[in-house]
Amino acid sequence: MCNLHYVEQGMSKVRSGPLTPCPSPSWGEGSFFIRMRSAPPLPFRERGLGGEGCPATTRLCTRPAMWSDIMDETLTMLKELAEAPGVSGQEGAVRLVMRRYLEPLGEIMVDNLGSVIGRKAGVAADGPKVMIAGHLDEIGFMVTRVTDEGYLKFQTLGGWWEQVMLAQRVEVYTRFGSLIGVIGSKPPHILSPEERTKVVDRKTMFIDIGAASRAEAESWGVRPGDAIVPVGPFVQMHNPDMLMSKAWDNRFGCALVIETMRRLGEQGHPNVLYGVGTVQEEVGLRGAATTTNLIAPDIGIAIDTGIAGDMPGVTLDDAAGRVGGGPVLLIYDGSMIAHTGLRNLVIDVAESEHIPLQFDKMPGGGTDAGRMHMFGGGVPSVVLGVAVRYIHTHTAIMHRRDFDQSADLLAALVRRLDAETVRRLKAGD
């Protein structure tokens, strides 16, 4: 029996697994399928494989109706982080997931607002302190009032555009558990001509949880302040590298923190690395402020979403990032201008590692680096991430290859941040 090392089919490496002869002659002589926990929805077309003991003609069979998603270790982590409920101010479930992944990698701290920090000393125990941070919180809503009829009024958490809110499913998290609901909307049949051309004001919106009265809703545990989380499960699309889910802003960033620390655990680094999951980024970069105060970093790297511009109606001047085009370096956002020396180092590292690098700006938003770079006498900081389509909605799309290349870039960058390099960056040399 041959053993598959890896196969590439527009996606990242598939981990080793035994190959089993295909049971149907129609799939062709010399065809095999891989027995894993699961397999890709997009059938592998005939493609040569490299594997110890595999015949040169080995092929993978096409079996589209019976494949399910490949869930390697990284995809499992991404799914767990993305699907965990965690709107701003109520990030506990996400923190538990991230902490579980961080615990094997270093010492764990949690600040008084709930941000989680993993500390990993490198080969120089007294080396410069490098902080990399993704934020735990996702955009969502908060219950503000229950009407007499049992509907919920709500406050938005983070930046929402009304047109993407109506008729979307949500989950309300009460002390007694979660309740499914939907943001109600009028059917088009009863809209006046004037109403059809207007964006609905969020102040008039409500959530229907199926309760017949305020008393019934309250008997289910609903109270003002309860978290309301968008419903948007993790899905691999027909191209399995395209990953669709709620909360990519910024659960992929939390996953990149973990993956970077994993990779550096294998290779070492000349600094002390702090991998952080911050709270309340979407409502004011608050967790970044408290964790920066705790860590007092020498270098700050925020990981956050770039806005994908590869869709109809968006120009390169609106958003330059392309899904699948590699990591994105933000040169400017509403809270920070990228540090020139650190920006140049990122460019140099990307070139030396043969990693494609995209550049973009985001004047309409801020990132955790906006708090990092103003700590003390100043902290050289940059923002790195991946291009994501449809951020700040119930469902967004990112590319797996962008994630893997970002992890490669971050690990290589941290390995370059020795004491002398950091000294020069801080001095502006």
Same domain (yes/no): 158, 190: yes
In a domain, 330, yes or no: yes
19, 50, 66 - which closes a domain: 66
In a domain, 285, yes or no: yes
Q: Are 382 and 343 in contact (CB under 8 A)?
A: yes
Same domain (yes/no): 21, 169: no
In a domain, 238, yes or no: no
In a domain, 250, yes or no: yes
Q: Which two tokens stand for residue 160?
A: 């929402």
Same domain (yes/no): 209, 289: no
Indicate the Cα dihedral angle 72, 77, 80, 85, nearest 10°. -150
Whole-number pLDDT of residue 4 = 37
Q: Are 111 and 290 in contact (CB under 8 A)?
A: yes
Residues annotated catalytic, as ranges: 281
Same domain (yes/no): 365, 353: yes
Q: Which residues pair with 37 in a beta bridge?
A: none
Same domain (yes/no): 199, 92: no
| Angle at alpha carbon of residue 366, lines to 399 and 301, rounded to 5° | 65
In a domain, 257, yes or no: yes
| Angle at alpha carbon of residue 194, lines to 190 and 200, rounded to 5° | 80
Q: Which residues pair with 131 in a beta bridge?
A: 274, 300
In a domain, 219, yes or no: yes
Same domain (yes/no): 274, 393: yes
Q: Are 60 and 31 in contact (CB under 8 A)?
A: yes
Q: Which residues contact 386 (CB under 8 A, 6 or more apart)?
A: 252, 305, 306, 321, 327, 328, 398, 399, 402, 403, 406
Question: DSSP string spanning 154-192?
Answer: EEEES---GGGTTT-EEEEEETTEEEEEEE----GGG--
Same domain (yes/no): 274, 170: no
Q: Which CATH number goes with the domain that contains 255?
A: 3.40.630.10
C-alpha of 345 from chain center: 24
Query: Domain tally for the chain?
Result: 3
Whole-number pLDDT of residue 9 = 35
Residue written as token pair 């049992």 = 150
In a domain, 341, yes or no: yes
Of 78, 113, 132, 109, nearest in space to 261 by CA = 132
Q: Are 122 and 272 in contact (CB under 8 A)?
A: yes
Same domain (yes/no): 292, 414: yes
Of 306, 146, 143, 303, nearest in space to 229 by CA = 143
23, 47, 66 - which closes a domain: 66
Please, how many CA atoms are within 13 Å of residue 373, restricted to the half-sphere of its CB? 21
Rg (CA), the chain: 23
Q: Which CATH number goes with the domain that contains 164?
A: 2.40.30.40
Of 104, 384, 85, nearest in space to 95 by CA = 85
- Helix pair angle (92-102, 73-83), 10° resolution: 160
Q: Are 353 and 412 in contact (CB under 8 A)?
A: yes
Same domain (yes/no): 320, 409: yes
In a domain, 235, yes or no: no
Whole-number pLDDT of residue 70 = 53
Same domain (yes/no): 85, 61: no
Helix, strand, coil % over all residues of the chain, rounded to 5: 30, 25, 45
Same domain (yes/no): 150, 124: no
Alpha-helical segments (H) within 47-179: 73-83, 92-102
Same domain (yes/no): 208, 265: no
- For the chain, residues with pLDDT lower than 70 are 1-70, 266
Residue written as token pair 């004001």 = 201
CA-CA distance, 63 to 46, in Å (whole number)?
A: 11
Domain that holds residue 151: 140-230
